[in-house]
Structure 1
Amino acid sequence: MVLARNFPATKQQRRAAWRAAREVRELKNLPYTAPSIGQVLGAQMWRVRAENGRPLKGASRLRTILLSETAHLIWKEHGRRRIQEGSDPLKLPPPTAMRKRVLASLNARLRAEMLATNRIRYGKLALKADVVEATWWGVLANRHLLQDDWLRETGV
C-alpha cells in the first residue's frame, strides 16, 4: 500500500481502516483506487463523474469525507499508541477495533451534518438537505425504513 510509509500506524490497523472505508465506498458504488498521500491531500479536488461526464456532487463529497476521516483516524491512532501506550506491541488493539472506530467516526460525521441542516439554528450557514441526502443516502443502513424527513429524526 502506498500510504504505509506516510501514515505511521501499524500495518494491520491501516489495512483495517482503509478496508472499512472501502466497504462504505462500495455501498455507494464508488470507484476504488488504492489511497495515496496525494489523494488524501488533494481529496477536495478529485471529482466522481457519471458516465456522461457530469460530476456527482454527493459521491464526490462522500469520497472526500471517507479519505479525510480515515486518514485522520489513522493519524490519531498512531499518536494515541505512541503517547499513551508507549509503542508497546502487546497493547495494540485488534484490527476490528480500528474498523469500529472508522464507522463510529463516519456516524459522528453523519450526525453532525444532520444537525447542520437546521435552518432555524444556522440560517444561511446551514447545510442544504439535498446535499447531505445525496452524500449519505446510498450508505445508510435500513434506508427502506426511513421517513422522508430522516434528516430531522434522531437515531438514524
Structure 2
Amino acid sequence: VALFDFVSRVPKHEHFRLYTPSTALIEDLTSHLSRNEDEGWINHECRRLMPALVGLLRNRSGLLILCEYAPGLGAQQATRASALTVSTIRALPLNKPILRFPAKYSQIIQGARLATQTQASLYAAIGDWHSKAATERRSTMENLALAKATASRILSHEPSSEEIWKSIRSSNITQKKIRAFLWKLMHGALPCGVNWNDNPAYADRALCQHCQVRETVEHLLTECPDSCQSTLWSLADGLLRRRGIPTILPMTFGNILVCGLQNKKKKLTPGQERLRTLVLAETAWLIWVVRCKWVIDDESDPTLYPSIPEITNRWWKMINSKLDMDLLTSDKKRYDTKAVAAALVKDTWEGLLEDDATLGKSLECHRNVGVLVGRGLAARRPPGRNR
C-alpha cells in the first residue's frame, strides 16, 4: 500500500531507488511476477491490490529500482519510513480496491493463463468467483419483493428468492424464450419505457402511444386498454376456469412473476398447475410480442394494430400449438426420459377439448388426429347458412 501511494504521487518520468524490508514484495514484483499473473494472483494475500500496483508501475516511463532494506541505512531514516508506512496503511486499508489510476492507460492483466492452470487451481478460481458478493439491482429487488407479496396473498405462502428464481426455469415452461422473457421481467431488463431513453432517436417509445404516460412492463401487460391485454387475459381466465382453476382476474404484474410457483391456497392437480403456468406465461409473452411488433415494426400506426378477432384467433392458435407439442413429446420411445408423461398431458388438457374421445387416440399415435381445444359454447359458430 505504501509503495502504491508513493508511485502514484511521484512524477512518472523520474528515476528512484526504493529500499524495502519486504523481500516477498520485491520477489512478487520481479522474479515471481509472471507466475503471479499467470495464476491471476488467486493465492496472493493482496490479490486485489497487486494487479493495480503492477499496472501503475508499468505506466511509468522512469526507472524504479527496488532494493532490500540494509541495516546500515540509518536509524533515523528507518524510523521515518516505518511511520510513513503505518500512516499510509491506516489511510488505505489492506486489500481495499484502489482505482485511482486511469484505467484507460493501465496494463493490468486480468484473469489467469489457461495453459498454466491445473484442475485444483481452476476449482479454486471458480470458488473465489462464486464467493464474490453480487451487486443488487434496484429493479430486481423491487420485483422480487412484489413477487413475494403476491405469492403470499394469492398462493398462501411466501416463497424465498431462490424458489422464485427456480420457478422461472420450471419444467412447466417448456420454451427457452419464455424463460428468458420471465427472467428479464424479473430484472426489469426489457426494452420498455425509460430503457428507450438511452437512444435519443427512439425516445418517443418511452411513452405509451395510447395513454401518453411512461410505458412500463406492468402498464403494458396489465393496465393499458389499447394493448389487447384485457382481451387475452379474459380468454386465459375463461380457459382456466373451465379446468377448475380459480380466476386470475384482475390480472396483476405480480401474478405473472409467480406464475411458475405452486398454488398452495387451493390444491390443484399437477396437470392443473401445469396448465395455469403455461397459459399465464404464454399469454404474457403474446401480449409483449404483439406490442413490440406494433411499436417497432409498424411504428405505432393506429391503423395497423391487430383487431380483437385477429388477436383472439392468434391466442387460440398458440394454445392449440401447445397441445400439439405435448402430444408429440409424449412419445417415450423417441424422447426416452425427456418425454412428457401421457398421464400428465391428459391431466393438463382433459375437459378442454371439443372431443375428449380423440385425446386418447392422439396420445397413442403421439400426434394430433383432429383434437382441438374447445372455445366454449358461446364462441361456436352457428351451423348452416345462418352462420
Normalising by the smaller structure, the TM-score range is: 0.7 to 0.9
SS in 2 for 1:138: coil
How big is the alpha-carbon RMSD for the aligned residues of Structure 1 and Structure 2?
Answer: 2.2
Matched, 1:92 2:308: no
Equivalent in the alignment of 1:43? 259
Is the CA contact (8 Å cut-off) linking 1:119 and 1:126 kept in structure 2?
yes
Q: 1:62-81 counterparts in 2 under 5 A?
A: 62-81=275-294
Cα offset, 1:8, TM superposition = 8.2
Q: 1:2-81 counterparts in 2 under 5 A?
A: 5-7=219-221, 11-12=225-226, 13-34=228-249, 35-47=251-263, 54-81=267-294
SS in 2 for 1:5: helix
Equivalent in the alignment of 1:118? 331
Structure with greater proportional helix content: 1
Aligned equivalents of 1:18, 1:128: Cα separation in 2? 28
Structure number with higher relative contact order (C-alpha < 8 Å, ≥ 6 residues apart): 1
1:105 to 318, 325, 348: 318
Aligned equivalents of 2:237, 2:314: Cα separation in 1? 14
Question: For residues 35-58 of structure 1, what are the alpha-carbon distances to aligned partners after superposition, in whole Å with 9 as ceiling and x for unaligned?
Answer: 2211111111132766xxx44211
Is the CA contact (8 Å cut-off) linking 2:294 and 2:305 kept in structure 1?
yes
Is the CA contact (8 Å cut-off) linking 1:8 and 1:75 kept in structure 2?
no
Cα offset, 1:148, TM superposition = 3.0
Flag as ranges the 4+ runs of structure 1 deviating above 4 A.
none
Q: Normalising to structure 2: TM-score of the pair?
A: 0.36
Equivalent in the alignment of 1:141? 354
Aligned equivalents of 1:49, 1:130: Cα separation in 2? 24
Aligned equivalents of 1:10, 1:87: Cα separation in 2? 14
Cα offset, 1:6, TM superposition = 4.3
Give, as a single letter, the amino acid of the residue that structure 2 aligns with 1:47.
Answer: N
Structure 2: state its 5+ residue gaps: 1-216, 372-387
Aligned equivalents of 1:139, 1:147: Cα separation in 2? 10
Cα offset, 1:60, TM superposition = 1.1
SS in 2 for 1:7: helix
Question: For residues 68-100 of structure 1, what are the alpha-carbon distances to aligned partners after superposition, in whole Å with 9 as ceiling and x for unaligned?
Answer: 010000000011111221101111111121111
The structure having more radius of gyration, on CA atoms, is 2
Kindly, what percent of the aligned residue pairs are identical?
Answer: 25
Aligned equivalents of 1:93, 1:9: Cα separation in 2? 18
Change in CA separation of 1:70 and 1:147 when aligned onto 2, cut-off 3 Å: closer
